[in-house]
Structure 1
Amino acid sequence: MSEKDTPVNPIIENSFLTSYTQNRELSWLRFDKRVLDEADDSNVPLGERLKFVEIFTSNLDEFFMVRVGSLLNLEAMDPKKRDNKSMMTAREQLNAIFEKTHELYKERDRLFSYLRRKLMERGIGHVNIHELSKKQYAYLEDFFQECVLPVLSPQIIDKHHPFPHLDNKKLYVSTMLKSKKKLIFGIIPLPDSLNRVVYLSKDKTEFVLMEDIIEEFIDQIFTGYPVVDRAVFAITRSAEFNLEEEEVETGDYIEAMRKALKKRNHLKPVRLEIRSQGKSLIAEYLVERYKISKSQVFATSAPLTMDYVYGLDANMTDSMKQEFYYLPYTPVSLDEKYHLEEGQTIFDLVKIKDLLLKYPYDDFGILLKLIKEAVYDKDVVSIKITIYRVGKGHVKLMNYLMAAAEMGKDVTVLLELKARFDEANNISWVNDLREAGCHILYGFDRYKVHAKLLLITYRDESGQGVKYITHVGTGNFNAKTAKLYTDFALITPDDAMGRDASMFFRNMGIGNLWGEYQQLLVAPVNMKKCLLSMINEEIAKVQNGGEGYMLLKMNSLTDRQLIDALFAAGQAGVKIDMIIRGITCLVPQRPGLTDNITIRNIVGRYLEHPRVFCFGKGEDMKMYIGSADWMTRNTENRVEVAAPIFNEELKKEIWDMLQLQLADNTKARIMDADGEYCLPVVKPGDKLIGAQDYCICNRV
């Protein structure tokens, strides 16, 4: 029998393949635990610590809607299918997720209780009902009778009152009522018309939440029924939906999306969150009603949603704001960054040199100024842009695009309608853009367009040919997130890059995914192939007696093929440093396996969002920035773009920032061989370095 014919023992083969990898979902939960750790950091202001509890909570909401929803679907379709990083079935993954999440809820409750108490000590009182004085309680009862009770819509469940549809993540106050010899379920949706935060005094420093008020006085709502149990709960539903092929094929893509979005709120429940006292009859009732397992029920003492924390500073004094929150940061302005000569515009400057914007340290208004100047420049003939998440509150960019179209310029907007949870907002722009004369593209049925690409085309001096200004970014064209996320944006007059960008938009317009590109890495066309080739080049350096090195920064690493290539590179002697904010299915520092690989993440004031790929060091280093994480969904199932950094000055600027993050010993955590995050070792006399704080203080 030849070696080729020798049967492979699947147990041995799978054991090796999982010896340096971990489950994607459990890795994500470790990341969200890192967010919660920031709420436990005494060096972070109290108000910001409370925000980290909220971020953890909203992250977990999305995780259940998307990932848990997908796993439940997978279990129903193919219960024997195994994840290729951990060899776990969908059910095994779900069991592990639920077990870990129950632990995280306990930690969240502990932190919320601690932070609530600390804030109350400093005059910001989130008061529990039982802590009220008699005077406050009487005031609250009067407030309930006059302002709350008239707008409530209570309902009991019996043969004349059918069980209502429960919206995703909406808060409901519920009760079990005694009626003769049986129990009746009563329910009240929290009205959207009522303010959730109710202040107890004119100075607005003490407050209670609306759901607490309704729960406290629930016996005054369901009069005539003794109250046996009461609780506040929320149902989380799966968010994973598919467009109906028949509707898409008719050509009415917008209508198909609208119908799909309506269906989302009726998808299967994946989690029940409940705040109750002791053993909950209500939880038992809802478990039976929705046919979910008890492991999907999460009891908590903290509020079920916490977005209200973002408005608490509105009534604080300036001194309170300084004590409880980060000091406001003003980004570097256009004038401060570039010192333009008299009469010179940013459009003039980018015609002759590459520019690099670093958010949130640089003002997003610099990019908006460039686009505005392009709109009114007589030589500009076209503006083409990909839009993934533009944001509800930001209209300047869209107004500029519409103005350009109305002035007769060729404006193409590739608007991704499938941007999760932003679908309705993106759809809302379609009619305005179309009426202004913009060409609208929707991308592809099975491929989200996630690229962050902008192309400005203008006539050259002769008036016969054209030149390009190309923008390739790591983040969305979104003014709000540009203040909250760290991102890079390259703006270049490079002609070859402009031709690639022009080819990209032409291909998108004719529905061609598979064009050829000379400078840009484009997924699913050539990106993974080029990344694998550059990894192999680093291996070849070592094999030829040189030094191989990679420095990679991204949000997530899950692509099995790229993971195996990195493993092979590390085995060959290539040194690999990675800065990965979220999921990493590759586990570093395992003896004999991934000794040459280090992974760290940084969670701080800003969400780390750039994707930067560096191969080699020094003059021969290849550096790319772009929109794609190293996930199969990005490399194979999305349209992504990454651009090379040729300008040595900009390359050094990015490199220095990455080196600063590798030196971070305050907000960084190092991943160990078990996939856990550990504090960096700080020796006596070592200088404390926080990469984000350094950039803020030095206005990099």
Structure 2
Amino acid sequence: MSAIYMNRELSWLHFNRRVLEEAQDSSTPLLERIKFLAIVSSNLDEFMSVRAAALMDQAKARISKKDFTGYTPGGLLCRIMKRTEKLVADQYRAFRGSCKELEQQGIVFLTFDELSQDQQQAMEAYYYENVFPLLTPMAIDQCRPFPLVHSQNLYLSILLKHDFGTPNEEPYFAILQVPSNLDRVIRLNSPAGDRRTTYILLEELIKRWLPKLFSDYTPVAVDVFRLTRNADLTIDEEGAEDLLEEMEKELRRRRWGTPVRLEIVRCFHPYALKLIMEEFELGSGSIFTIDGPIDLSFLMNLSSSLPGQDQLRYLKAEPVYPQEFMETDDLFKVIRQRDVLVFHPYESFEAVTDFIADAANDPAVMAIKMTLYRVSGDSVIVRSLALAAEAGKQVTVVLELKARFDEERNIAWAKKLEQAGCHVIYGLVGLKTHAKVALIIRQEESSLQRYVHIGTGNYNDKTSKLYTDIGLFTSHPRIGEDVTAMFNEMTGYSTPHDWKALCVAPSHLKPALFEYIQREMAHAKAGRPARIIAKMNSLSHREMVDQLYEASLAGVQIDLLIRGICVLRPGVPGLSENITVRSIVDRFLEHSRVFYFKNGDETQVWLASADWMTRNLTRRIELMCPIYDTRLQELAVRYLQLQWNDNVKTRQLMPNGKYVRILSEGPPVRSQFDSQEQILSWKREGEDETKLS
């Protein structure tokens, strides 16, 4: 059984390896390479705190049942840790290589002893003015137990000897948190004649003046460590009287999550390490020795903040305003006449924020209904919704409090929206609301007109510049009717709707997809055209994989563009010979979900919020929406084909589970074609959407 499926967690590690390859690729601009190194670290933090943590809990509970890929929790956890250790070693090897190249460009990280006298004096002043007041050394002894160590924060482990103690007495032990609300990287003023851009890390400054914190004691060993805790939340939604209040309690409990991973610097003092391991009850398999500064996520801000280094970055990518809306102040008039498809980040997300802002300011708009999953810290959309409610419009927001790692932000937005007079719904018990949909109801002449936006990505103006997503603006009656029914189900006690256009999870989406796959099988067996092209982030649902295997055996050609996890094994003789899987990792995170079914000669194209994962198809409110306009169908298919033809940033999944670059497959080698850069080039030149062909 395991031979025909790949493991989900190991497949995710393959994905993070592909991210690392972008940092190792010399053709990637230098400052973009260090950004990819930061992404590898951030990805691993989430993976360890959620996926590895869950496996650790199962292993501790002595669960030995194998999953459908053949792994027990303990066996899989062991394999994950070993592969992660190798991944991190390669990441830091790439980091050291990048540092050498940065030095050649005059960008240098210095130790305190390498600073000039003026720089040392400036850093001393900075330390006492900005850092010292925030430091709290925490001694650990019989009277003072081990304090709470926050997850994914840097700490110093400090061994001290008493200046008047006996020679053989055991060292004293203390820890010190590196303030997380200060910049980790401090830029230095260069001496006259030194054209370099120089930096020092915050922990280096703290180490330098550490003796000032411990009078009558001398530090004998100072080492950096970082703990990762289990960050998954367990909420009794049915028993909670107030879900928002219960979420706030659970977020406080998250601080004491079970330790999962301990990162330590090289040559960590063994006495201190023994004390820390005993406190956190971690074995050696959960200890990662880091050859460099722990947590490279600080490189993300560094890469974007360096002045005057544009030659070390990708060419600027300024989103263009969608052509259909370019010469009008009335978005509703355009949408009333025709559907509009918008491709982010090539086209500006301002079209979406304008859609909501115009609705908030339009006297003819009676109501706004919207789902929110992840929004930015300064959300234009949330402000517009609040203004609409304050203006007397009926505003309903289904805001998902359980969006992992955005819980605190969403709680704050929920309170703000409620204060403004919005009806805020926290979703349905047991389900996350992951659908991306906005409904505007507008009084026009003698009737109400519905306007809908449906997207593949979040209503987040920040990530919309970094993720590739597609949005559909439409006034199609069937879509509007279904979206209205969907909101009624989420906010009231409506019974499941007889969907005319949408496919909605968890009740309808999975059966609909199975039906469409089986329909392609019937076409193939009857000798009619049959093909599936599906673009998504992840494929891990076993039944869905089995359906695709059956379709392949029936002769359906299946092309899958899957950025991340894929448990399906393509190209296996007698099973998946008609399935090809490719993954694009490039400057933008591929995030859109688009599904194409040939259906004989009656093509169907869908946009969706859902990946083909168990959680999306069975435990979330998701939607899949048809593109009815044949012109836009063709445009979406051309977009898929354009990405399929990418031979620069694409890797193909082989039957043995490895990913290989398309260009490395051997002759004939085609001219290089980077799909993201090609679209950006067309947009810079002012070309219209027809260039997608």
**TM-score class normalised by the smaller sequence:** over 0.9
How many angstroms apart in 2 are the aligned matches of 1:647 and 1:314? 40
Deviation per CA, 1:235-269: give whole Å up to 9, x if none: 10101121245xx6353211111001101111101
5 Å-filtered alignment, 1:3-402, equals 17-77=1-61, 79-84=63-68, 86-129=69-112, 131-132=114-115, 140=123, 144=127, 148-178=131-161, 180=166, 181-192=169-180, 194-202=182-190, 205-244=197-236, 249=239, 251-277=241-267, 280-312=270-302, 316-318=306-308, 320=309, 322-334=310-322, 336-340=323-327, 345-394=330-379, 396-402=380-386
Kindly provide the amino acid, as one letter, of the partner of residue 204 in structure 2: D
How many angstroms apart in 2 are the aligned matches of 1:279 and 1:435? 53
Deviation at 1:316, TM superposition (A): 3.9
Quick check: 1:531 aligned with 2:527?
A: no
Deviation per CA, 1:450-486: give whole Å up to 9, x if none: 000111122343x1x3221121110011100110100
Quick check: 1:647 aligned with 2:635?
A: no
Kindly provide the amino acid, as one letter, of the partner of residue 294 in structure 2: L
Tell me if structure 2 keeps the 8 A contact 1:375–1:403. yes
How many angstroms apart in 1 are the aligned matches of 2:360 and 2:121? 61
Change (3 A) 1:346 1:426: same
Tell me if structure 2 keeps the 8 A contact 1:580–1:599. yes
Kindly provide the amino acid, as one letter, of the partner of residue 147 in structure 2: P
When structure 1 is superposed on structure 2, of 178-187 and 632-641 the one drifting more is: 178-187
How many angstroms apart in 2 are the aligned matches of 1:512 and 1:52? 46
Deviation per CA, 1:278-328: give whole Å up to 9, x if none: 66433332111111111100011232223432333676443x2x1222222
Quick check: 1:598 aligned with 2:580?
A: yes
Deviation at 1:230, TM superposition (A): 2.4
How many angstroms apart in 1 are the aligned matches of 2:614 and 2:460? 25
When structure 1 is superposed on structure 2, of 63-72 and 125-134 the one drifting more is: 125-134
How many angstroms apart in 2 are the aligned matches of 1:621 and 1:446? 35
Kindly provide the amino acid, as one letter, of the partner of residue 574 in structure 1: V
Equivalent residue of 1:457, what SS?
strand
Equivalent residue of 1:182, what SS?
coil
Deviation at 1:592, TM superposition (A): 2.6
Quick check: 1:659 aligned with 2:649?
A: no
Tell me if structure 1 keeps the 8 A contact 2:528–2:600. no
TM-score (norm 1): 0.92
Instruction: Specify which of 590, 613, 624 is matched with residue 631 of structure 1.
Output: 613
Q: Percent same amino acid among aligned pairs?
A: 37
When structure 1 is superposed on structure 2, of 657-666 and 275-284 the one drifting more is: 275-284
Deviation at 1:198, TM superposition (A): 2.3
Equivalent residue of 2:3, what SS?
coil
When structure 1 is superposed on structure 2, of 365-374 and 117-126 the one drifting more is: 365-374
Equivalent residue of 1:361, what SS?
coil
Q: Deviation above 6 Å: which 4+ runs of structure 1?
A: none
How many angstroms apart in 1 are the aligned matches of 2:222 and 2:574? 56
Kindly provide the amino acid, as one letter, of the partner of residue 261 in structure 1: L
Kindly provide the amino acid, as one letter, of the partner of residue 93 in structure 1: L
How many angstroms apart in 1 are the aligned matches of 2:601 and 2:330? 32
| Matched residue count | 673
Tell me if structure 1 keeps the 8 A contact 2:455–2:471. yes
- 1:8 corresponds in structure 2 to none
How many angstroms apart in 2 are the aligned matches of 1:315 and 1:662? 34
How many angstroms apart in 1 are the aligned matches of 2:365 and 2:319? 29
Kindly provide the amino acid, as one letter, of the partner of residue 299 in structure 2: V
Kindly provide the amino acid, as one letter, of the partner of residue 327 in structure 2: L
5 Å-filtered alignment, 1:502-581, equals 502-511=484-493, 514-581=496-563
Change (3 A) 1:315 1:531: closer
How many angstroms apart in 2 are the aligned matches of 1:697 and 1:652? 21
Deviation at 1:142, TM superposition (A): 6.8
Tell me if structure 2 keeps the 8 A contact 1:230–1:282. no
Tell me if structure 1 keeps the 8 A contact 2:514–2:547. yes
Query: Gapped runs of 5+ residues in structure 1?
Result: 1-16
Change (3 A) 1:670 1:146: same
Change (3 A) 1:358 1:213: same
Change (3 A) 1:280 1:690: farther
When structure 1 is superposed on structure 2, of 562-571 and 148-157 the one drifting more is: 148-157
Tell me if structure 2 keeps the 8 A contact 1:513–1:524. no
When structure 1 is superposed on structure 2, of 636-645 and 542-551 the one drifting more is: 542-551
Tell me if structure 2 keeps the 8 A contact 1:381–1:458. yes
Kindly provide the amino acid, as one letter, of the partner of residue 589 in structure 1: G
Kindly provide the amino acid, as one letter, of the partner of residue 391 in structure 2: M
TM-score (norm 2): 0.93
- 1:677 corresponds in structure 2 to 659
Query: Gapped runs of 5+ residues in structure 2?
Result: 684-688
Change (3 A) 1:639 1:60: same
Deviation at 1:616, TM superposition (A): 1.3
Instruction: Specify which of 447, 460, 479 is matched with residue 431 of structure 2.
Output: 447
How many angstroms apart in 2 are the aligned matches of 1:120 and 1:38? 20
Change (3 A) 1:504 1:315: closer
Instruction: Specify which of 445, 448, 469 is matched with residue 466 of structure 1.
Output: 448
